[in-house]
Structure formats: C-alpha cells, structure tokens
C-alpha cells in the first residue's frame, strides 16, 4: 500500500508543471497555523482551499491524528494544479522525509518552482537550502539573492537572514551598517533573532555607535521572545555584567517564555 502511495506521489511530483505567474487567479490571505507574515497566495476556488486546509490538519494533527499519507496526497494534488503553498509544503515533507523517502535535491527543485510563482516562504526556504548546501551545492551568493527575493515577495523573516549574511560577509561584502538596517527592521517586527543580533551590534559597536545599555536591553528582549542564544548569552554573564538578577517565574525558572530548540544555527526552515 505504501509503495503504491509513494509511486503515485512521485508521479505527481514529476508531472508538476511550471505555471505562469500571469495566470488569472484570486489572491487571498494565507490561513494556517504557521503564518508569520502578511503573505498572500493564489487559489482558484474554495474546494482547493478546503483541500489545502485538510492537508494542513493531517500534517500537524489539528483536530485529528497526524497522517502524513493523507497530507501528501492532498498537497501533491494541489501542487499539480500550481498552488505555491502546497508545492512549498510538499517540498518540506520531502526534505524531512515525512511519510515519503527523504530527497533534498527534489525538495530544492520544488522550492524553486514555488519561488517562481511568487511565494516568499518558498524563496526563503530555497535560500536556506543554498546556505546550508542541502540538496546541492552550497552557495552563499544565491542564498543572499533568494533571501532578497523572499523579502521582495513580502516574507519578512528574510530580514534576519539578510542581516546575518551582511554581518558575517557570507555571499556579500561584509557590511555592518546594512546588517543593522535589516536587524532593526526585524526587531521592529519582534523577530527574536534580529533583536538578538541588533543587541550584539550595539554591544560591540558594529555598524552603530556602541551603547552597552541599549545592547543589554535588546539581548534581554530577544531572550523573552524566545531566542536560545540570547538566553545563553545572559546566563553566561549574569554574575559578571548584569546588575539585576533574571526575572523568574513562580517555579524559579528564568524567562518562562524561553523554549530551547537547538544549539545549532538559529535559521529555521519555514516549510509549512
């Protein structure tokens, strides 16, 4: 049964056509649990929208059991019709091997298709693939280009990646001033990673006049927003450079909003 399902889905993947962005379709706000920006998506009718929402429910276990097979079938169907959200979600499942054999090279191809259809989240994910080298060659220049494309398409999470690439000089000439601009815009949107790096810029005087007070404030704000590196930064220095102890919850745990995810690179794929 599973083998038959894989074959059907793979057949759908290789038969997905490249649709022109000039196709006359209606743009509506994204509806789903992973929305973080004011993205818009193209759909043709309510049946497709309901099918997409069903796929999301099966993928995330919303009011039902998680069922990757049912999610895959629905995403593959919509992807074949040219729905960029579904192409992006399908790429995410293939990239992680959820209900189907992992294939990062194919995931990269699908992200590119969705990017060409104007879907900012897919452009961001494609930038991530090039940054990490997943699914093909590592290319920081292309990572920067697709991150810029994602931003132009309205996906504001790309602000942090662009700031980081300019901060480090990956794929672009190192430019602290430009990095600060991106981080500042991200911090205004309460993006934890942008806020953290903006704090580091103020603490070190990178691209902005050194301001220890402002730097501390921003790092602490990033910790409250949930950035793991910001929390570690504070905990490592609490006895040395922080006059006031960390605020604790009723159980005595610092920063109840903090939830550790990983000690690795704080970039995350926004697959779904």
Give 36-85 pLDDT, tens digit per residue. Answer: 343 344 444 588 999 999 999 999 999 999 999 999 999 999 999 999 99
Residue 237: per-residue pLDDT: 74
Q: Are 79 and 53 in contact (CB under 8 A)?
A: no
Pairing of strands 40-43, 26-29: antiparallel
Task: For the chain, give the percent of residues with pLDDT over 70.
Answer: 71
Please state, in angstroms and rounded to a whole number, the distance separating the CA atoms of residues 32 and 182: 27
**What value does the mean pLDDT of the chain take?**
80
Query: Is pTM, for the whole model, over 0.85?
Result: no
Q: How confident is the model at residue 9 (pLDDT cuts 50, 70, 90)?
A: low
Q: Are 171 and 143 in contact (CB under 8 A)?
A: yes
Tens digit of pLDDT for each residue in 204-230? 999 999 999 999 999 999 999 999 999
Beta bridge partners of 248: 254
Tens digit of pLDDT for each residue in 113-152? 999 999 999 999 999 999 999 999 999 999 999 999 999 9
Give the gyration radius of the chain's Cα atoms: 20
Cβ atoms < 10 Å from Cβ of 210: 12
Tokens of 151: 């931003």
């Amino acid at each position: 049964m599973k083998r038959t399902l894989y074959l059907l889905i793979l057949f759908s993947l290789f038969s997905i056509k490249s649709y022109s962005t000039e196709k006359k379709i209606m743009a509506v706000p994204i509806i789903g649990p992973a929305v973080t920006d004011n993205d818009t998506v193209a759909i043709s009718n309510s049946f497709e929208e309901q099918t997409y929402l069903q796929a999301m429910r099966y993928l995330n276990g919303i009011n039902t059991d998680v069922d990757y097979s049912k999610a895959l079938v629905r995403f593959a169907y919509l992807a074949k019709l040219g729905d960029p959200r579904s192409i992006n979600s399908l790429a995410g499942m293939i990239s992680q091997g959820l209900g189907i054999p992992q294939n990062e090279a194919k995931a990269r191809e699908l992200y590119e298709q969705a990017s060409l259809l104007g879907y900012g989240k897919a452009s961001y994910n494609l930038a991530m693939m090039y940054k990490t080298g997943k699914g093909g060659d590592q290319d920081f220049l292309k990572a920067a280009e697709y991150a810029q494309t994602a931003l132009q398409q309205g996906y504001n999470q790309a602000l942090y990646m662009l700031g980081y690439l300019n901060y480090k000089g990956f794929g672009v000439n190192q430019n602290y001033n430009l990095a600060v601009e991106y981080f500042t815009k991200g911090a205004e949107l309460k993006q934890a990673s942008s806020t953290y790096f903006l704090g580091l810029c103020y603490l070190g005087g990178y691209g902005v006049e050194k301001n220890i007070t402002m730097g501390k404030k921003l790092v602490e704000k990033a910790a409250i927003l949930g950035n793991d590196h910001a929390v570690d930064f504070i905990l490592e220095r609490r006895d040395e450079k922080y006059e006031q102890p960390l605020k604790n919850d009723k159980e005595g745990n610092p920063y109840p909003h903090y939830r550790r995810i990983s000690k690795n690179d704080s970039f995350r794929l926004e697959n779904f």
